[in-house]
Amino acid sequence: MALCYASSIVHTVHGHFCYLRGHNLNQPHESDWDLEQSAELYGLERWGNDYFGLSAEGMVTAKTLNSSVALMDIVDGMTERDMKMPVLLRIENILDAQIYRLNTAFANAIEKVNYEGRYRGVYPIKVNQQAQVVEEIARFGARFSHGLEVGSKPEMIAALAMLEEPGSLIICNGYKDQEFIDLGLQAVKLGFKCFFVIETTTELPIIIERSRVLGIKPLIGVRAKMNTQVSGHWNTTSGDRSVFGLTATQLIEVVDRLKQEDMLDCLQLLHCHLGSQIPSIQEIRSGVIEACRYYTDLMKEGASLNHIDLGGGLAVDYTGARCASEQSRNYTLDEYCEDVVETLKQTLDEQNIAHPTIVTESGRATVAYSSILLFNILDTTHFEPVSLPGVSTNEPNQLKNMRAIIEYLTADRVQECYNDAHFYRHEIRELFKRGATDLRTRSVAENLFLDIMHRIISLMATLERIPPDLANLKESLADIYYGNFSLFQSLPDIWAIGQLFPIMPIHRLNERPDRQAVIADITCDCDGKIDRFIGDPEPTNTLPLHKLIEGEEYYLGVFLVGAYQETLGDLHNLFGDTNVVSVRLGNEGGFEFVKEIHGDSIADVLSYVEYNPKEMQVRYRNTAERAVREGRITARERQQMINTFNTSMQGYTYYEKES
Ligand SMILES: *Cc1c(COP(=O)(O)O)cnc(C)c1O
């Protein structure tokens, strides 16, 4: 309650301030803002998958069945533990819940349509390889025999060490050399259901040979090249030109070779992966039908198939739009499972083929929800007039003409006034360039210009048709909020592929967010910005945010970042890994910090690019010592400088506020 009270005071002050300003681009302030409006504005219920809510105090909460904790409480806990922003927050219960939901949804679908096989999920390590994540999936997933999918030797090693449940599946994709194959064969001997999925015909002879040498029968799968074209970002995984999978001819070659070696009984799995983030259920269905055709004919060829692995592709609805567009999906988890199971049953029943174990390799949908990137805002830039001094005696005519615009500015003359303001501002800039007017006059002109633009924006709200020239005016005057994070390190897909993630403040949600902003990171790179946000229904170019309060932190959260973001990130400007905190929500509303990892220190990132921190310290000390010798600094000053240098070397790479 105390908090509500405090913010409403600020509100009044803020409202008053806006009123004085008169013409900013934001709505006049109203005090009747409530939580539901925040929930609607930021779309929490559309994308949150029931994991996030709002508290009466205006804070975002993380929710599980019996518990709900404000993210701000977790932030406070981090501050007490000296965990600085930015922080990647993982909520283990959400990860567990996603595994539970996936396995339960398949179990329900199987029961509903009387499917005679079962479901076995595997988690593809590449989607988030962090030990904390894989470990938790292995631990919680054991009750469902949830396995792992690996695409390289390091991932294989991780899987072998993490999985304890012997019946669990390990699906080996990717190129496999002898060492990789030996690891897999030994895993079979240990009791794991470790499948080699053959993606190129060159792997088969090595598998056959190593199996002879080690005396262990392999479990073999084949990856079929899919013709079903899917939409979305990742569509090149499918279709004729896909680099993955065996063609019909190669499949026949594999079958013949295995037959020759008397090993056709080892071929027990068919693998089909259509791509990631498949937005449309129709495409998934048609992929399953194609997979069934391969399955049926391989059975007729004499293979002993008993697993059908449909790969990844289960999408996350990042925008909450619930439609078949790139960053969304037109189906629910239950529909996905039912459609897959039902299509398999119908198609295979027609051919009288026994129902295989269904395997899926859902990565994105498993891990996306459980991670949130939290950061604080360091500063803002507003594009608004700061002061409009009265007319002075010797103003140039251009400035007088600019002032006059305000007199004839009406809704039906916005385009004309817009043109005139640009013209006179240009004239004054030219005068300034030639030395014909001074810096103060130019400053007045720039402020007048902004004032006119904001008046135009207010008038535009009443227009039926916005002149095309003015279409982006509002965005061009949006605030810039500077966030304490690196896009390149923590949200690489925003930069690389224009990915959208839900972004919102995690507190003050019972106040009207009356600024429109874009977000810049601290890399000083013009690409290091976020200027596209989820919207309802279309994405928007600005995000509604609150005005900063002097002396108070303002925290934003980027949600659904658990998949694909952490290890793709790079060291742009040498900003390193962020701090990471894993929490587990308790049953009665509390929470517990279960794991924490301090992010890279400056010494860490420097050594990644082959600097030697010890040697650097010696060099800096020598430079300082020379200055002492030459009488430019004292020995005491030298020591101070060396201490600052060495402390900084051990510190965090991000912006640290002195506490
Ligand atoms: C990347 C990948 C996955 C994961 O896909 P999601 O869409 O994230 O579930 C699964 N299988 C294979 C073979 C992959 O390459």
Handedness of CA 354, 357, 360, 361 (dihedral sign): negative
Q: Residue 169 has what pLDDT? A: 97
Active site residues per annotation: 524
Question: Quick one: tokens of 50?
Answer: 């029931």
| Partner residues linked to 169 by β-bridges | 193
Q: Between β-strands 515-520 and 193-198, what pairing exists: parallel, antiparallel or unpaired?
A: unpaired
The overall average pLDDT reported for the chain is 91
| Mean pLDDT score, 234-251 | 75
> Rounded mean pLDDT of 565-580?
87
pLDDT of residue 390: 75
Say if CB 284 and CB 278 are below 8 A apart: yes
Largest CA distance in the chain: 102
Give the model confidence (pLDDT) of 287-336 as tens digits: 999 999 999 999 999 999 999 999 999 999 999 999 999 999 999 999 99
Q: Whose CA is nearest to atom 2 of ligand 1?
A: 312
Ligand 1 pocket check for 173: Cβ under 6 Å: yes
Residue 168: DSSP 8-state: -
Query: Which ligand 1 atom sits closest to the C-alpha of 276?
Result: 7
Answer yes or no: is the C-beta of 569 below 6 A from any ligand 1 atom.
Answer: no
Which DSSP string do the residues of 130-146 spell out, in sequence order? Answer: -HHHHHHHHHHHGGGT-
In DSSP terms, 557 is beta-bridged to 374, 504
**Distance, CA 351 to ligand 1 centroid (Å)?**
29
Mutate to test the pocket of ligand 1, among 99, 122, 149 (most ligand atoms within 8 A of CB): 149
| Separation of CA 368 and ligand 1 centre (Å) | 13
Q: What per-residue confidence (pLDDT) applies to 15? A: 30
pLDDT number for residue 603: 96
**Angle at Cα 523 formed by Cα 79 and Cα 602, nearest 5°?**
60
Domain boundaries 115-368, CATH class: alpha beta
Q: Which CATH superfamily is domain 38-86+370-383+478-598 in?
A: Lyase, Ornithine Decarboxylase; Chain A, domain 1 (2.40.37.10)
Distance of CA 507 to the CA centre of its chain: 20
Q: What size, in residues, is the chain?
A: 659
Ligand 1 contacts CB of residue 121 (under 6 A): no
Check pocket membership of 276 for ligand 1, CB cut-off 6 A.
yes
Which atom of ligand 1 is the closest one to the Cα of 361? 10
The finding on whether 311 has its CB within 6 A of some atom of ligand 1 is: yes
Q: What are phi and psi of 270, to 5 degrees?
A: -110, 135
pLDDT band at 13 (very low <50, low <70, confident <90, very high): very low
Please name which of 469, 452, 541 lies closest in space to residue 500, comparing C-alpha atoms.
541
- Does residue 517 contact residue 543 with C-beta atoms inside 8 Å? yes
Is the pLDDT higher at 10 or at 137? Answer: 137
The pLDDT tens digits for 350-363 are 999 999 999 999 99
pTM: 0.90
Q: 178 φ, ψ to 5°?
A: -60, -40
Question: What does the alpha-carbon distance between residue 544 and residue 42 come to, in Å, rounded to a whole number?
Answer: 9
pLDDT band at 240 (very low <50, low <70, confident <90, very high): low
Q: What is the pLDDT of residue 534?
A: 97
The pairing of beta strand 543-545 with beta strand 515-520: antiparallel
Tokens read off for 93: 């219960």
Task: Please tell me the distance between residue 174's alpha carbon and the centre of ligand 1 in angstroms.
Answer: 12
Q: What percent of the chain has pLDDT over 90?
A: 83
Q: Is the pLDDT of residue 623 over 90?
A: yes
397-470 has which CATH code? Answer: 1.20.58.930
How far is Cα 404 from Cα 64, in angstroms, rounded to an integer?
60
**What pLDDT shows up at residue 22?**
33
- In SS3 terms, 328-376 reads as CCCCCHHHHHHHHHHHHHHHHHHCCCCCCEEEECCCHHHHHHHEEEEEE
User: Mutate which of 125, 230, 273 to test ligand 1's pocket (most atoms within 8 Å of Cβ)?
Assistant: 273
Cβ-in-10-Å burial (0-12, 13-18, 19+) of 649 comes to: middle
Nearest CA-CA partner of 7 in 381, 512, 378, 380: 512
Q: Does 562 sit in the ligand 1 pocket, CB within 6 Å?
A: no
Quote the pLDDT of residue 238.
61
- In sequence order, the β-bridge partners of residue 558 are 373, 503
Ligand 1 and 360: CB distance under 6 A: no
CA of 120 to the centre of ligand 1 (A): 15
pLDDT digits (tens, 9 = 90+) for 105-118: 999 999 999 999 99
Backbone angles phi, psi at 64, to 5 degrees: -130, -175
Whole-number Å distance, alpha carbon 63 to ligand 1 midpoint, is 27
- Residues 509-543 have pLDDT tens digits of 999 999 999 999 998 788 899 999 999 889 999 99
Among candidates 36, 96, 39, 42, which has minimal Cα distance to 501? Answer: 42
Tokens of 654: 């991000």
Reference 116, options 313, 297, 254, 306; nearest CA is 306
Cross-strand bridge partners of residue 270: 222, 308
Dump pLDDT digits (tens) for 396-406: 999 999 999 99
Which residues, in sequence order, are CB contacts of 504 under 8 Å at separation 6+? 42, 44, 60, 543, 556, 557, 559
Give the C-alpha distances (Å, rounded to integers) separating 299 from 6, 119, 222, 265, 304: 70, 20, 13, 11, 6
Distance CA 519, CA 498 (A): 14
pLDDT given at position 27: 45
Which residue blocks in 147-280 are alpha helix, DSSP H?
153-162, 178-190, 203-214, 248-260
Determine contact, residues 146/132, Cβ cutoff 8 Å. no
142-186: per-residue pLDDT in tens?
A: 999 999 999 999 999 999 999 987 889 999 999 999 999 999 999
With the most atoms of ligand 1 within 8 angstroms of its CB, the residue from 276, 278, 310, 366 to mutate is 276
Neighbours of 325 (CB within 10 A): 18
Whole-angstrom Cα distance, residue 546 to residue 641? 40
Spell out the domain ranges in the chain: 38-86+370-383+478-598, 115-368, 397-470, 603-650
Output 147 or 474, whichever has higher pLDDT: 147
Measuring from atom 4 of ligand 1, which residue has the nearest CA? 312
